[in-house]
Structure 1
Amino acid sequence: MTQVFEVSGMHCGGCASRVERAATALAPGAKVTLDPPRLTLPEGANIDAAAINKTLAELGDYRVKGPVVDGG
């Protein structure tokens, strides 16, 4: 099952790229979208929001919340 997290602090494509690079280091195959601001981890990735936020804190003011239920 994939995990989807809401991401705050992203304002542009550069932000999304930085977050995606960091997330991919934790879980290869991670994808980030700017609209809506979401981080999707691939199936089998067993990483929680705290671990992601620890990594993102090194990049700037990015935070994830979730996982969330994606209605789409």
Structure 2
Amino acid sequence: MNKTLLLLLFCLVLRSAAQAQRPDISRYETAYTEIADMLDGKAALSIKRAVFLADWAYLDGNLDYGAF
């Protein structure tokens, strides 16, 4: 009984840890699209904006461009 309970608890901890580490892919796709537009000439080139977008996606959208 104790082994079963311990195994169940271990599986639940692993599952919750795996879900917590999943990044929001849509932020990366948004950043990629905007940077690709810069490289394709559809938007003005800006190294500052490109670096911001990479950091913004990594920080899960918790970064303000005005303060950057």
Structure possessing the higher relative contact order (Cα contacts under 8 Å, 6 or more residues apart): 1
Query: Common fold, TM-score beyond 0.5?
Result: no
Q: Normalising by structure 1, what TM-score? A: 0.28
